[in-house]
Structure 1
């Protein structure tokens, strides 16, 4: 099994949060949806449902990252978060191209309403940002950013990994690739730095609850996809 503690540093905030929310983190990072991606058995309707909602999620995720510009602790941090917002907005266009490869045209994607799981997760993140400081917001965002990196590493290390005829190979490669792995590592490192400057040790219980809830909401997002396959409209 790959070293899944690669993100963050020993004694840093990210690893403390990951350990404190281990049950929720595991349920998210190795959800049956993820296992189905790893071995290629995930039903296509589940992935299509996920793809559409993930586009709608990205739109709201960009808003949350824009809030992080407002909450940022320094001008340098503002510049860095502004680049993140720009990258996510650019990713929405690429996401529509990817959806088209799965037979989902742009008009259909844009017309799709947000699922309750999408609304619940994204608005919860925004609420944490409005109520708290930059550390609260970054902790709420981290399970998405760092989690996808770890999920890809888990898939790559899984004994049942299907590399020959797996229709989800492109998705796996995106998050297992060096570019995204650098993004995930950077997000964990940012949490470690903010933990030092914003009283992370003293706030660990409340921050762990935030991290656990975000992980639970991520797992609900996967389950939404599975439910679409089990209960087609």
Structure 2
């Protein structure tokens, strides 16, 4: 029997929270195009507040990774976040929904940004990967549940498309692979610290979706 992947072990340790995120009623409503405008606006206003902290966390991953081969995917994705369709999506979607890019932080948004900033400042590569992996893997989890045809309205359809597809799956696969590789070298205390951070991120993802429903 093959040894269990560290990333799978982390996910299993975070049940039922993990499943609560990827099957959350709000996430499901996005996949079906039924997310209410007010909920979608509130959600995207808050999600936009992560862009700076998330970008800084990617930069910390570049700096703290233990090999050139590991640094390259972070640098590539960092460029995509800063310059490609995700950034333009926020502005187009918030304009369509009557939202704003400078919305006051909800408590859960502040808590999630604090977790990202703590991981960044720590320069502890496994903890940085843990936060990034939860953020991306949970989104692939709910977005991959969307059935064809995708919703017609771009605020739903494009958000799904940004978190599904071969490139995004490869990115999540890289993050999981890094966790698996790093986990093999961690002692019991190191694994406990990664699990604690991973679990905090999962719980914040669940609370963030709860917030969207008001």
- The two structures have a TM-score, normalised by structure 1, of 0.78
Distance in 1 between residues matched to 2:38 and 2:146, nearest whole Å:
20
Q: Give the counterpart of 1:207 among 172, 187, 194.
A: 194
Indicate yes or no: 2:131 matched with 1:143: no
Cα deviation for residue 165 of structure 1 reads 5.5
**Corresponding residue number in structure 1 for 2:158:** 170
Indicate yes or no: 2:178 matched with 1:184: no
Distance in 2 between residues matched to 1:165 and 1:99, nearest whole Å:
14
Cα deviation for residue 77 of structure 1 reads 2.8
**Corresponding residue number in structure 2 for 1:123:** 114
Cα deviation for residue 38 of structure 1 reads 3.0
**Corresponding residue number in structure 2 for 1:65:** 58
Contact 1:13-1:200 within 8 A present in 2 as well: no
| Structure 1: runs of 5 or more not aligned | 1-8, 157-161, 228-233
CA deviation profile, 1:60-80 (whole Å, cap 9, x unmatched): 100111122222212333343
Is the deviation greater in 131-140 or in 15-24? 131-140
Cα deviation for residue 120 of structure 1 reads 1.0
**Corresponding residue number in structure 2 for 1:3:** none
**Corresponding residue number in structure 1 for 2:37:** 44
Distance in 2 between residues matched to 1:86 and 1:102, nearest whole Å:
26
Q: Give the counterpart of 2:103 among 99, 112, 119.
A: 112
Indicate yes or no: 2:3 matched with 1:32: no
CA deviation profile, 1:112-164 (whole Å, cap 9, x unmatched): 233322221021122134336201111122111111111112334xxxxx847
Cα deviation for residue 89 of structure 1 reads 1.4
Distance in 2 between residues matched to 1:77 and 1:200, nearest whole Å:
21
Structure 2 vs 1, CA of residues 164 and 205 (structure 1 numbering), >3 Å: closer, same or farther?
closer
- The two structures have a TM-score, normalised by structure 2, of 0.84
Structure 2 vs 1, CA of residues 62 and 113 (structure 1 numbering), >3 Å: closer, same or farther?
same
Distance in 2 between residues matched to 1:164 and 1:82, nearest whole Å:
30
Structure 2 vs 1, CA of residues 97 and 200 (structure 1 numbering), >3 Å: closer, same or farther?
farther
**Corresponding residue number in structure 1 for 2:89:** 95
Task: Give the total of aligned pairs.
Answer: 210
Distance in 2 between residues matched to 1:201 and 1:89, nearest whole Å:
37
Structure 2 vs 1, CA of residues 174 and 164 (structure 1 numbering), >3 Å: closer, same or farther?
closer
Structure 2 vs 1, CA of residues 202 and 122 (structure 1 numbering), >3 Å: closer, same or farther?
same
The CA RMSD over aligned residues, in Å, is 2.6
Cα deviation for residue 10 of structure 1 reads 6.0
| Structure 2: runs of 5 or more not aligned | none
Distance in 1 between residues matched to 2:152 and 2:104, nearest whole Å:
29
